[in-house]
Structure 1
Amino acid sequence: MDGMRQGLTIGEFAQLTHLSVRTLRRYHEAGLLEPASVDPASGYRYYTGAQIPQAQVIHRLRELDMPLADVKQILATGDPEARAELTAAHLRRLEERLDRTRAAVTSLRQLLRPDVERLEVELRSVPARTVTAVSGTVAEEDVLTWYDGAMAELDAAVRGHEPAGPPGGLYDNELFTAGRGRVLVYRPVPDAPETGRVARHVLPAVELAVTVHRGPHDDIDVTYGRLGEWVVEHALAVDGPVHETYLCGPRDDPDPDSWRTEIGWPVFRLSPGARSGG
């Protein structure tokens, strides 16, 4: 190679990598992909063929919306296992974002439907009960993971005991208003052994406005909203945790369309025995 030809021009490199010249300049400015050399007189950037795979890796990572700092860390890491873990951590974040996006789309479809089905609500008096439960203070974004672990402990603790009904959960208002609050999940078994986080709890008697959410929880917030609207119109909401009862869930049937979740809103009954739709 003579003195006038120091490597691949940025245009040639762009053609070989299917990246635009503008993108390559941006990678250079961000410190992600330095040219092999820069002509001091002309300022032209030159690359080598060995840099093509690196450019393509950067492009793929950026297509996955990986932050620049994370891309730099991966490129600077020589350990393949460390690189794989950094990439996997980002992919997990993408999957969580995808779940949130799917849930938002499902909710919007429900909210924007002109033909909303009638909401059936029952005013129900629930007596005090002794249950086997796991409780804790949880951040809202960690609820699903915490729930899975707690239910696994409960399932093990009540094995061999006949439950008096489906499992359920109580969710304090602070979980929704402040992003962190007390959660209690239970199996209606009064005499299971206490072990680890598993303990017996007495659930106090309560009046609830109850409706059923059908299907996966992607749009359960819509059902919560419609139930809350019903309560405002027909009853008096009182302080207390929201009750959920899992009539059918992932542990019962892998088909999300079959899932049924009762939502119970604590109320002071204004019209005893009322049943309504809205």
Structure 2
Amino acid sequence: MTAYLSIGDFSRATHLTVKTLRHYHQIGLLAPADVDPHTGYRRYTADQLSVAQVVRRFRELDMPLEEIQAVLATPDPGVRNARIVAHLDRLQEQLGRTQRAVDDLRDLLTHPAVDAAGVELRAEPEVAAAAITEVIDAADGAAWLQGALGELHATLTAQGLSPSGQAGGIYADEVFTDHRGESTIFVPCRGTIRPLGRVRPTVIPAAELAIITHRGAATGVDRAYATLAAYVTRHALGVPGPIREYYPVGQRDTADPALWRTEIGWPVFHTRTS
């Protein structure tokens, strides 16, 4: 005769609440071994304790219920392990992002003062360039930037043209205010670029800019923007216009993010006092 545990006893043994056990039954994740047709009471066997413990461990690791179901339903140990490892990899990536955010916040609290050192005023001349312009989501900006730069350089090489200056980007206000807006990535070049794919010839207009250099990957670039904005507010005459960035050292140049450099340009009106 099979020995059963009531749902209360099973709850105490597994540290899963009765409410949770009922929910797992409803979605088919952990069905009781027996349900009384008259009272609806759920009963479990001792063999189900280990399954419940596995489910609980996975939930502690924030594995979605549908993924847990897929793991439990997979008879192939290799496939099962691959699913578990994939979730652990996602957790590791999330842990890395959390650690970076903690480090940035701790550094911000330790060094809250805005330091305008390193801001320079620069007049950029009008230049002919190869460019890609699209409306993008800010969340896709980093990947889109690298793809656009790769396409631009490949197109220049294919057409026998050479870059004549630093690659850069021009970003409409909506990129920052709505996290979606028009973005242009350009590479100045000598000669006439023929339209190909997304690449088009363009003229990058002259601009007077207050420029600060951000060193490293995109993490923490908001602090450079804040420093630059504070400088412009206090020491320069800001004017309407898109933000401009230049990429003197980037992913194409070195795989070490610590060596990357991004110049951020805020449009200003140069005066003698600034």
Q: TM-score, normalised by structure 1?
A: 0.77
Q: Deviations over 1:10-33 (max 9, x none)?
A: 757976xxx4243x7514324332
Residue 28 of structure 1 aligns to which amino acid in structure 2? R
| Aligned equivalent of 1:20, options 4, 15, 21 | 15
Q: Deviations over 1:177-207 (max 9, x none)?
A: 0111011112222434421001111111111
Query: What pairs up with 1:61-210 in 2 under 5 angstroms?
Result: 61-68=58-65, 70-71=66-67, 74=70, 98=95, 101-114=98-111, 119-159=117-157, 160-190=160-190, 191-210=192-211
Q: Is the 8 A contact 1:170 1:185 kept in 2?
A: yes
Alpha-carbon shift at residue 90 of structure 1 (Å): 7.0
RMSD of aligned residue pairs (Cα, Å): 3.8
Task: Give me the whole-angstrom Cα distance separating, in 2, the residues matched to 1:245 and 1:233.
Answer: 24
Q: TM-score, normalised by structure 2?
A: 0.78
Alpha-carbon shift at residue 95 of structure 1 (Å): 6.9
Task: Give me the whole-angstrom Cα distance separating, in 2, the residues matched to 1:112 and 1:230.
Answer: 20
Task: Give me the whole-angstrom Cα distance separating, in 1, the residues matched to 2:176 and 2:252.
Answer: 25
Q: Deviations over 1:251-275 (max 9, x none)?
A: 2112222111111001122336x4x
- Segments of structure 1 that go 5 or more residues without pairing to the other structure are none
Q: Deviations over 1:199-247 (max 9, x none)?
A: 1111111110001111221100001011001001111222222111111
Alpha-carbon shift at residue 47 of structure 1 (Å): 3.1
Residue 98 of structure 2 aligns to which amino acid in structure 1? T
Task: Give me the whole-angstrom Cα distance separating, in 2, the residues matched to 1:185 and 1:113.
Answer: 35
Q: Is the 8 A contact 1:170 1:184 kept in 2?
A: yes
Match of 1:253 in 2: 254
Q: Is the 8 A contact 2:32 2:42 kept in 1?
A: no
Moved more, 169-178 or 251-260: 251-260
Residue 139 of structure 1 aligns to which amino acid in structure 2? D
Q: Secondary structure at the match of 1:131?
A: strand
Structure with the greater relative contact order (CA < 8 A, sep ≥ 6): 1 or 2? 1
Give the total of aligned pairs: 265
Distance 1:167 1:50, change over 3 A: same
Alpha-carbon shift at residue 110 of structure 1 (Å): 3.7
- Segments of structure 2 that go 5 or more residues without pairing to the other structure are none
Distance 1:127 1:36, change over 3 A: same
Q: Secondary structure at the match of 2:219?
A: helix
Residue 185 of structure 1 aligns to which amino acid in structure 2? I
Moved more, 123-132 or 84-93: 84-93
Q: Deviations over 1:61-115 (max 9, x none)?
A: 42342444x4477479779899999989977876775565355334323422338
Alpha-carbon shift at residue 166 of structure 1 (Å): 2.5
Match of 2:229 in 1: 228
| Aligned equivalent of 2:32, options 31, 35, 39 | 35
Moved more, 41-50 or 187-196: 41-50
Task: Give me the whole-angstrom Cα distance separating, in 2, the residues matched to 1:166 and 1:99.
Answer: 32
Task: Give me the whole-angstrom Cα distance separating, in 2, the residues matched to 1:130 and 1:95.
Answer: 44
Residue 123 of structure 2 aligns to which amino acid in structure 1? S
Q: Is the 8 A contact 1:8 1:49 kept in 2?
A: no
Q: Secondary structure at the match of 2:147?
A: helix
